[in-house]
Chain A
Amino acid sequence: QKEVEQNSGPLSVPEGAIASLNCTYSDRGSQSFFWYRQYSGKSPELIMSIYSNGDKEDGRFTAQLNKASQYVSLLIRDSQPSDSATYLCAARTGNQFYFGTGTSLTVIP
């Protein structure tokens, strides 16, 4: 079983819509969770981190964490074509970091 699992997609949403990206993790000892955006041919770019149950908002992005369900999500409001990328979910357990395979998002103009 993979440590972090994501639906690989592709996920397509129209411009202006809300994109919802999901991630589950297997280790209940995981302490911190991160969302990264990766454009094709580029390195991952940190969007936001979350450590406590509940929601965390940063601009158009909202991360949600449910430790009981071992579930992390990222909502992107007012999606723009420039949001088209692969979104990577990551979990930290101690000094180990685990990334999912990423979800490909396409925002259609």
Chain B
Amino acid sequence: ETGVTQSPTHLIKTRGQQVTLRCSSQSGHNTVSWYQQALGQGPQFIFQYYREEENGRGNFPPRFSGLQFPNYSSELNVNALELDDSALYLCASSPAGTAYEQYFGPGTRLTVT
């Protein structure tokens, strides 16, 4: 069974640019969530997708947006990058029919200069 995968592993962008991060859910998982983890902090919930619809969102501005595809893979898009967007971005998927236990991918380290 393949776990949650994310790409790319590392990314360097310039302030003002746009970025797309990708996530493939673990087999059998139909819910995906995205988190931002700054150094020394816990993960901050960005949003959750279920059946291709956003069904939960944290305190992040609209320039953070996402998509979930029919195969349950997902994208996180961030527009107008700011220096404070530099962080580890984590994707987590949950199995169908369980009580929200989430399994994390390895993350994408984004650096904004």
A and B associate? yes
Binding site for B on A (CB under 8 A): 4, 32, 34, 36, 42-46, 49, 51, 88, 90, 92, 94-102
Among A4, A44, A92, A100, point to the contact of B104 (Cβ < 8 A).
Answer: A44
Q: Judge whether A97 and B33 touch: CB under 8 Å.
A: yes
Q: Quick one: closest A residue to B106, CB to CB?
A: A43
* Cβ contacts B28-67/A at 8 Å (1 or 0 each): 0000010100001111110010000001101000000000
Distance to closest chain B CB from A106 (angstroms): 16
Q: Quick one: closest B residue to A88, CB to CB?
A: B42
Given A51-B99, A98-B45, A100-B42, A43–B56 Cβ distance below 8 Å? no
Q: Judge whether A94 and B56 touch: CB under 8 Å.
A: yes
Q: Judge whether B101 and A34 touch: CB under 8 Å.
A: yes
Q: Judge whether A43 and B100 touch: CB under 8 Å.
A: no
Residues of A within 8 A of B58 (CB): 96-97
Residues of B within 8 A of A100 (CB): 42
Distance to closest chain A CB from B86 (angstroms): 16
Residues of A within 8 A of B48 (CB): 95, 97
Complex Cα gap A45–B102 (Å): 9
Interface residues on B, range: 20 to 34
Residues of B within 8 A of A96 (CB): 45, 56, 58
Residues of B within 8 A of A36 (CB): 104
Residues of B within 8 A of A42 (CB): 106
Q: Quick one: closest A residue to B102, CB to CB?
A: A46
Q: Judge whether A46 and B101 touch: CB under 8 Å.
A: yes
Distance to closest chain B CB from A96 (angstroms): 6
Asked if B90 is an interface residue, CB under 8 A from chain A, the answer is: yes
Q: Quick one: closest A residue to B45, CB to CB?
A: A97
Distance to closest chain B CB from A76 (angstroms): 19
Near A by CB (< 8 A), chain B positions 83-113 give 88, 90, 99-107
Q: Judge whether A101 and B101 touch: CB under 8 Å.
A: no
Distance to closest chain B CB from A93 (angstroms): 10
Residues of A within 8 A of B35 (CB): 97, 99
In the assembled complex, 22 residue pairs joining A and B whose CB atoms fall closer than 8 Å, in A order, are A32-B99, A36-B104, A44-B104, A46-B101, A46-B103, A49-B99, A49-B100, A90-B42, A92-B100, A94-B56, A95-B48, A96-B56, A96-B58, A97-B33, A97-B35, A97-B45, A97-B100, A99-B42, A99-B44, A99-B45, A101-B40, A101-B42
